[in-house]
Amino acid sequence: MVVFKIVISEVKAELIEFPLKNKIGSMPKFKVTATILRIKNNEGIEGVSASHFPNADEALVAFFKRWKKLLLKRDPFEIEAITADFNNYTQRILIGIPQAVSLVNCALWDLVGKIVNKPVCKLLGLFQKKVKTYASMPYWMKPEETIKMSNSAKDRGFDAIKVRLGESLQKDHAVLKILRDTFPSPNDLEIMADVNSGYPYQKTLKLARLATEFELEWLEEPLFSDDISGLARLRSSVDVPIAGGENNYGLFEFKNLLDHGCYDVVQPDATRSGGISMVKQIGTLAEAHGVRCIPHVFGTGLIQAANLQVIACLPNCQYFEYGYYPKFILLMKDEIPVRDGYVDIPMNPGLGLELDETEVAKFRK
């Protein structure tokens, strides 16, 4: 009897560039870009994943050109072994691009799901089939614009929004005040606020104190992602829940953050923090610390898809972050519908959502 062996036969990374720039918090102004990774097996089934604007997309494409040999001829079901190899070549021993690890892990999960014809969440262990969502505003807004966008989000079915703070304390206060004056309680509108590490300690402490009266769901990235003592001190000094983690990577960084009591909510991202497998582990670690794990999600639809699959398996995740930006950035055939404040977890094989290749071709560099 001839046994057909499934192996990885093709690996390709490509650079996507959108005609957009953005700047929020401590970030420099950056071009909106993405890297798409495609891993194909010898049956012609393709797993895909995408990164979140790493500011190094060209380097990431070059990295995969050089290190695709770590994938070729391997059994795609060896997800953990292959992910560990990439981790060694990027983070643990040689310094490379950690986002490569996340891309490999997510694309392998997509591939394996498609091979066995199941969504990834059913392979990992399903906890929830739908999750509350919030409209994540991508840029700083004037107070009046915040109301306009909140009403627009409510019309689309959202019951929660996230605003960007960190331009000035006066403006932060004006934004939160007009929102709570218009929507008096979290039952009318849940509000999250993101500082994107835009302030030094004393200023962010003032913000956290003035934010208390507005009943925020959380205050996000009040300080830099590696300021462990600052974050721990801040969290123990204020009542508003503190969130963060989108710029942290791997199990040990999150263990350190959790051990030091930095956060009420950790926000790893399947496409940045080490992959779907890693976010599942971080979620469990957070649960043991009594902390919520609500992944960061921003960028193309493949980033939404990878995170939704793991969100479906996290008992301590109550929200999906839905970037409130133009549909063309998603690059997908369909947008995820929002109904009564919730989204359904996509249940198609793999990551559950399909790339629109015509859209990809428009923005391929």
**Chain positions contacting Mg ion, by CB under 5 A:** 194, 220
Closer Cβ to Mg ion, 67 or 134, answer by number = 134
Closer Cβ to Mg ion, 245 or 346, answer by number = 245
Backbone angles phi, psi at 51, to 5 degrees: -100, 170
Contact 218, 192 (CB under 8 A): yes
Closer Cβ to Mg ion, 172 or 194, answer by number = 194
Handedness of CA 16, 246, 91, 30 (dihedral sign): positive
**Separation of alpha carbons 152 and 89, rounded Å:** 45
**Separation of alpha carbons 77 and 118, rounded Å:** 14
Nearest residue to Mg ion, scored by beta-carbon proximity: 194
Helix (H/G/I), strand (E/B), else coil: 50: strand
Closer Cβ to Mg ion, 159 or 220, answer by number = 220
**Separation of alpha carbons 97 and 350, rounded Å:** 25
**C-beta neighbour count of 304 within 10 angstroms:** 28
Closest approach, Cβ 198 to Mg ion, in A, equals 11
Closest approach, Cβ 32 to Mg ion, in A, equals 15
DSSP state of 270: T
Closer Cβ to Mg ion, 159 or 194, answer by number = 194
DSSP state of 355: B
Closest approach, Cβ 214 to Mg ion, in A, equals 18
Closer Cβ to Mg ion, 13 or 291, answer by number = 291
Closest approach, Cβ 220 to Mg ion, in A, equals 5
Closest approach, Cβ 25 to Mg ion, in A, equals 8
233: which 2 tokens?
């001190």
User: What does the buried/exposed string (b/e) look like for 152-173 if buried means 16 or more CB atoms within 10 Å of the residue's CB?
Assistant: ebbeeebbbbbbbbbbeeeebb
Torsion-angle region of 176 (φ positive above 0: left; ψ -120 to 50: alpha; else: beta): alpha
Helix (H/G/I), strand (E/B), else coil: 274: coil
**Separation of alpha carbons 309 and 29, rounded Å:** 31
Contact 178, 214 (CB under 8 A): no
Closest approach, Cβ 27 to Mg ion, in A, equals 10
Closer Cβ to Mg ion, 88 or 247, answer by number = 247
Distance of CA 182 to the CA centre of its chain: 29
Closer Cβ to Mg ion, 222 or 350, answer by number = 222
- Spatial CB neighbours of 194, under 8 Å, sequence gap ≥ 6: 24, 25, 136, 162, 163, 164, 165, 166, 220, 221
Alpha helices in the chain (DSSP H): 57-67, 79-87, 99-116, 120-124, 143-155, 169-182, 201-211, 228-237, 250-259, 276-288, 301-311, 357-363
Closest approach, Cβ 45 to Mg ion, in A, equals 34
Closer Cβ to Mg ion, 52 or 114, answer by number = 52
Closest approach, Cβ 74 to Mg ion, in A, equals 34
Closest approach, Cβ 102 to Mg ion, in A, equals 17
Closest approach, Cβ 243 to Mg ion, in A, equals 8
Closer Cβ to Mg ion, 110 or 220, answer by number = 220
